[in-house]
Chains A and B, each alone.
Chain A
Amino acid sequence: MKTRGWRPGWDGHVLLFYDEESQRRAGVATWVHRGLTQGAKILCTQPPDDPPDRSLAGLFRDEPDVLEAMERGQIQVIPADPSTYDPAFIETVVDEALSEGYPSVRWTGDATTAWDVIPRSRHELVERATDELCTSRPLSVLCQYSAVECGDAIGFLSQSHGGGLREQLFQAAPVEGGLAVAGELDASNQQILISLLTAATAAAGSDPFVLDLRCLDFLDLPGARALMFGTLDHRGGGGQVRLESPQPHVAQLIHLLGIDQAEGILVGETQ
């Protein structure tokens, strides 16, 4: 579990939540480039019949250094198959790469690829096992989830991604005692935030539930409403929510809207 003050990054078990293909490609590209910089072994699970424009080779067709890394095996494609979604298989492949001398390993794939070969319930178990593996090995796994395909399940799914969730405008990660949100919250992502908060507050065993706002750069009215709606169940049950360390302009909006006076809301640092 991350400590408070978490800043979004591209390591660990990361959930890439995308609305459009361009977002997915941009996220995967950033994550792969970071892996190459680290000298990591990079694995990508993709369907054998993936169209060229969606495949890893298609994504990097104009980047000779990436294609060269594929040729010499630093970047490797794993054809999707039920056996490749076995935690024991994943562990073995990761350990083999580490024993070859790679300092770290990175693995990515789209959830829809998994759902084509194994049931969603089994995939959830794999996700949980992967989260464990990311804490015990120098491993980063980037799980790509289409907004259309997973909908409200995003709240539950985010709980099993310790490296955080990345959406186009904002990032979030479970932290000690609560959830950290970073980036920009507005009308375009309020539903996702509500799902995240509802799941996170339900899963949290602590009270007050901490919402770490240190890295939140922008908040508008729909975003602020989402903070309230998403924590409604928790507060309605007598729980409290601490909005921790908002930047001055975010704190000002919270104050203007009277959120700091709302039942069950605390603002400021933990004493």
Chain B
Amino acid sequence: MHSAYRHGLLVHDTDEELIEGTRAFVARGLDSGGEVLVHGSRDRVALLREALGTGPRLAYGFDDELYQAPMRTLFSYQRTLAERSEPTNLWVTGTVPLGLDATQQAAWLRYESAVDDALGTYPFAALCTYDTRRRPASVIAGALATHRTVNVDLTDRDNPQYVEPGAFLAAPLAQRPEAPATQACAATIIHDFEHLSAGRDLVKVGAYRHSAVSPQTIEQFRVAVNEVTSNGLLHGRAPVRVSLWTDVGSLTCLVEDSGPGLVDPMAGYRHPDGASSMGLWVARQLVDDLVIGSSPSGGCSVLLTVTEQPL
């Protein structure tokens, strides 16, 4: 973990608390010489901009541009931080958009939980603001479980309700995606690298035939499935089973190896440094969700999903 990294939470129920908490965070960020980003919905950003003003190294951003999909947002921050030639601290504060329904809210909570793994090695400081007037109790509970510190009276304090990411993913609040209970529309067994293409061919045929997902998304999904299958052969044990479910606007694929393997549910979030798995890191960036678990045969199971909103 980088010494300057922090992922804190401010739970508030008035605009004044939000403004004062944000003002203090922005001041600390600017005083440290860092770059500061304040983001949120358009009305929230207008409120904060009026209160805090503008200045060098202080930027404002809108959630409808920066926070469209959890994993895209997470890896966008990671890329920004990883590609910096100068080690400038990045301070970010705002409300994670949290989605329109319970499923999307849970996806954003899983994002919050993964921030430590994805961004913890960078000089990244975040203060996530949650408004109890606008968010359901379950979201506030999820926020409390996914931030290492809470901001009380403008001071960061250790959060006793924090849950390690792997454990959070198993908790009901995370609503961890599961494979559909229905029979897969197609499945195949991969025994070796020579026949790796069978898994991605299965996705190609099934997706083009039974869904309206765009070719670009299908091709990205194929790469992700291929990498996960390859990982199963490399780190687990053959055979690897690949199962596909399709819907008009979504693809779901379950890849199960025959183990034994060390199942780390957070693998693939950290930027690869030679030691960690680059395949999973790439795969995570090509799908909406990639959930790692255990397969019935004692190996590793990976569930990949991608959903396209209708135009």
Q: Could you list which residues of chain A lie within 8 angstroms of chain B, going by C-beta atoms?
A: 19, 169, 184, 186-188, 217-222, 247-249, 252-253, 256-257
Instruction: Tell me which residues across on chain B come within 8 A of A184, comparing CB atoms.
Output: 197
**Does B219 sit at the interface, judged by CB under 8 A?**
yes
- CB-defined A-B contacts under 8 Å, sample of 15: A19-B194, A186-B193, A186-B197, A186-B226, A218-B219, A218-B222, A221-B278, A221-B279, A221-B282, A222-B230, A248-B219, A249-B220, A252-B220, A253-B223, A257-B282
Instruction: Tell me which residues across on chain B come within 8 A of A221, comparing CB atoms.
Output: 227, 230, 278-279, 282
From known contacts A220-B230, A221-B227, infer whether A249 and B216 are also in contact, taking CB-CB under 8 Å: yes
B223 x A249 contact (CB < 8 A) = yes
From known contacts A256-B285, A257-B282, infer whether A218 and B223 are also in contact, taking CB-CB under 8 Å: yes
**Cβ of B9 to closest chain A Cβ, rounded Å:** 31
Instruction: Tell me which residues across on chain B come within 8 A of A248, comparing CB atoms.
Output: 216, 219
Majority SS of interface residues in chain A? mixed
Interchain CA distance A256-B193 in the complex, whole Å: 23
From known contacts A221-B227, A256-B282, A256-B285, infer whether A188 and B219 are also in contact, taking CB-CB under 8 Å: no
Majority SS of interface residues in chain B? helix
A188 x B193 contact (CB < 8 A) = yes
Instruction: Tell me which residues across on chain A come within 8 A of B282, comparing CB atoms.
Output: 221, 253, 256-257
A188 x B194 contact (CB < 8 A) = yes
B223 x A220 contact (CB < 8 A) = yes
Instruction: Tell me which residues across on chain A come within 8 A of B279, comparing CB atoms.
Output: 221
**Does B52 sit at the interface, judged by CB under 8 A?**
no
**Cβ of A44 to closest chain B Cβ, rounded Å:** 28
Instruction: Tell me which residues across on chain A come within 8 A of B39, comparing CB atoms.
Output: none
Q: Please pick, from A19, A169, A220, the residue contacting B227 in the complex, using a CB distance under 8 A.
A: A220
Instruction: Report which residue of B193, B219, B278, B286 has the largest number of chain A beta carbons within 10 angstroms of its beta carbon.
Output: B219
A-B residue pairs, 9 tightest by C-beta: A249-B219, A187-B193, A188-B194, A220-B226, A249-B220, A188-B193, A256-B282, A248-B216, A186-B196
Instruction: Tell me which residues across on chain A come within 8 A of B222, comparing CB atoms.
Output: 218
**Does B270 sit at the interface, judged by CB under 8 A?**
no
Instruction: Tell me which residues across on chain A come within 8 A of B216, comparing CB atoms.
Output: 248-249
**Does B110 sit at the interface, judged by CB under 8 A?**
no
Quick one: CB contact mask for B191-206 with A, threshold 8 Å, 1 for yes?
0011111001000000
Interchain CA distance A220-B197 in the complex, whole Å: 11
Instruction: Tell me which residues across on chain A come within 8 A of B286, comparing CB atoms.
Output: 252
Interchain CA distance A249-B222 in the complex, whole Å: 10
Interchain CA distance A247-B197 in the complex, whole Å: 19
Nearest A residue (CB) for B282: A256
Interchain CA distance A184-B216 in the complex, whole Å: 16
Interchain CA distance A186-B195 in the complex, whole Å: 10
Instruction: Tell me which residues across on chain B come within 8 A of A217, comparing CB atoms.
Output: 219
Instruction: Tell me which residues across on chain A come within 8 A of B194, comparing CB atoms.
Output: 19, 188
Interchain CA distance A19-B226 in the complex, whole Å: 21
Quick one: CB contact mask for B203-229 with A, threshold 8 Å, 1 for yes?
000000000000010011011001100
A218 x B220 contact (CB < 8 A) = no
Interchain CA distance A268-B133 in the complex, whole Å: 50
Q: Please pick, from A19, A169, A249, the residue contacting B197 in the complex, using a CB distance under 8 A.
A: A169
